């Protein structure tokens, strides 16, 4: 893959595309639960409905990731996904029975859930071979997420939760306009071909497999929090504006984290795994604090830890995936990585989290999340110890041109 035009206008468009695509998704992620509660759904019903997203993503992420690699045209794949997302979000809000909502949500999530992983692949493709860093582009996504969340709260409160689809569609259209201004990406003759057999070799990398499994463990309470934090705030007496403020706090300082990581974090596998150990411990602290919260403002302020927990986990995970996975399978690798924080973990977080919230209360849900994060920290610590002691020996790549990058990653 190669970027055909590294001119500054294209890089600016890439930043603005990230801003609006993340801004679009926070509208749905942060406020759709409130719409479901307004139409009479229970917490268990909401949890089971939101669990459709990660369940569908288990199949959708590899599907779209494979075709992104196969066609070597991530822009076209993203455009198809955006069109499908915009079409089915309209149908979701027109559905008047639970069965109809469930059916349309499956189709909606098939197009929507892989969007983040493919956006990451788009950034990595455009900056490959340049001096630009991933974080300097991804931070625009955090800005879009944070600023849209705090602006959308009062707007949705005034329009009503049933009008979320209108705000969502406008933001998605703006994102599409900026994507159209990006230069084309073409497959070079030196690029390795992509096959299902080659993709299956990723799972022969023991460290990559453990990274995915431990990521699922750490991400279960995070997906439960994403699903039920807004309902927790309302239960404590908060408002939709407070929900927007909490989401704003959760992402605004991710910008600082991405800048610091770009500047100071070493691109070495053992260093990155060590960072995940620390991040997992901070996750445990975050969930313990959430379990002890007594007011909506406390919940909102605790979300400031999101920047160093999920922000750190996301950044480090993207870099590790890039080092573990051969270049021709980059989109597929990012899709598999996405499953570790939104796929299987999302199904468990939505279903088990909803059951625990309704049966035992939010405090028990967050206490259980803290224990899972501690188990994840122990696992990542064990990985770090083994990497320090024995080093990292990557699998022999299919393409000799990949040798140099994998040797660098093993350092």
Name the class of domain 11-182: mainly alpha
Per residue, the 3-state secondary structure of the chain, as one string, reads CEECCCCHHHHHHHHHHHHHHHHHHHHHHHHHHHHHHHCCCCHHHHHHHHCHHHHHHHHHHHHHHHHHHHHCCHHHHHHHHHHHHHHHHHHHCCCCCHHHHHHHHHHHHHHHCCHHHHHHHHHHHHHCCCCCCHHHHHHHHHHHHHHHHHHHHHHHHHHCHHHHHHHHHHHHHHHHHHHHCCCCEECCCCCCCCCHHHHHHHHHCHHHHHHHHHHHHHHHHHHHHHHHHHHHHHHCCCCHHHHHHHHHHHHHCHHHHHHHHHHHCCCCHHHHHHHHHHHHHHHHHHHHHHHHCCCHHHHHHHHHHHHHHHHHHHHHHHHHHHHHCCHHHHHHHHHHHHHHHHCHHHHHHHHHHHHHHHHHCHHHHHHHHHHHHHHHHHHHHHHHHHHHHHCCCCCCCCCHHHHHHHHHHCC
The answer as to CATH 2.60.40.420 being correct for domain 198-392 is no
411 residues of the chain, pLDDT tens digit each: 444 444 444 578 888 999 999 888 888 777 787 788 787 877 778 877 877 877 787 788 778 877 777 777 788 888 899 999 889 888 888 887 778 888 888 999 899 888 887 888 888 788 877 778 777 787 888 888 888 877 877 777 777 766 777 888 888 999 989 888 887 665 433 334 444 555 566 677 788 888 888 999 999 999 888 888 888 998 898 887 888 888 888 777 777 887 888 788 877 888 899 999 999 999 999 999 999 999 999 999 998 898 889 888 888 888 888 887 776 676 677 777 877 776 778 778 878 888 888 889 889 999 999 999 999 999 999 999 988 888 776 655 454 444 444 444 444
Sorted by where each begins, the domain ranges of the chain are 11-182, 198-392
11-182 matches 198-392 in fold: yes
């Amino acid at each position: 893959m190669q970027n055909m035009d590294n001119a500054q206008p294209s890089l600016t468009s890439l930043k603005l595309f990230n801003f609006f695509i993340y801004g679009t998704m926070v509208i749905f992620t942060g406020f759709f639960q409130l719409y479901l509660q307004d139409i009479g759904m229970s917490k268990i019903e909401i949890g089971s409905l939101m669990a459709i997203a990660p369940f569908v993503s288990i199949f959708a992420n590899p599907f779209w990731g494979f075709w992104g690699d196969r066609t070597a045209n991530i822009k076209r794949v993203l455009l198809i996904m955006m069109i499908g997302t915009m079409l089915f979000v309209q149908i979701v809000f027109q559905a008047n029975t639970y069965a109809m909502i469930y059916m349309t949500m499956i189709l909606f999530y098939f197009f929507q859930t892989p969007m983040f992983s493919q956006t990451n692949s788009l950034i990595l493709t455009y900056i490959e071979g340049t001096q630009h860093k991933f974080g300097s582009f991804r931070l625009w996504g955090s800005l879009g997420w944070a600023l849209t969340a705090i602006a959308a709260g009062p707007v949705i409160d005034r329009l009503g939760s049933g009008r979320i689809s209108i705000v969502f569609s406008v933001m998605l259209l703006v994102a599409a306009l900026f994507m159209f201004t990006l230069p084309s990406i073409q497959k070079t003759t030196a690029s390795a071909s992509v096959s299902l057999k080659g993709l299956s070799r990723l799972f022969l990398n023991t460290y990559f497999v453990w990274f995915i499994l431990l990521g699922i463990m750490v991400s279960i309470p995070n997906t439960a929090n994403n699903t039920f934090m807004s309902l927790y705030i309302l239960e404590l007496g908060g408002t939709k504006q407070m929900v927007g403020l909490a989401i704003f706090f959760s992402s605004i300082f991710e910008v600082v984290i991405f800048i610091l990581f770009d500047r100071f974090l070493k691109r070495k596998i053992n260093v990155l795994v060590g960072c995940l150990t620390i991040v997992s411990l901070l996750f445990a602290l975050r969930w313990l604090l959430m379990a002890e919260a007594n007011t909506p403002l406390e919940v909102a302020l605790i979300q400031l830890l999101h920047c160093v927990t999920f922000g750190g986990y996301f950044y480090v995970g993207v870099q590790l995936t890039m080092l573990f996975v051969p270049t021709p399978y980059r989109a597929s690798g990012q899709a598999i990585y996405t499953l570790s924080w939104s796929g299987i973990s999302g199904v468990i977080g939505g279903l088990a989290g909803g059951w625990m919230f309704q049966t035992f209360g939010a405090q028990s849900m967050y206490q259980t999340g803290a224990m899972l994060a501690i188990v994840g920290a122990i696992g990542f610590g064990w990985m770090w110890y083994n990497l320090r002691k024995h080093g990292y020996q990557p699998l022999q790549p299919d393409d000799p041109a990949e040798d140099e990058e994998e040797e660098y990653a093993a350092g």
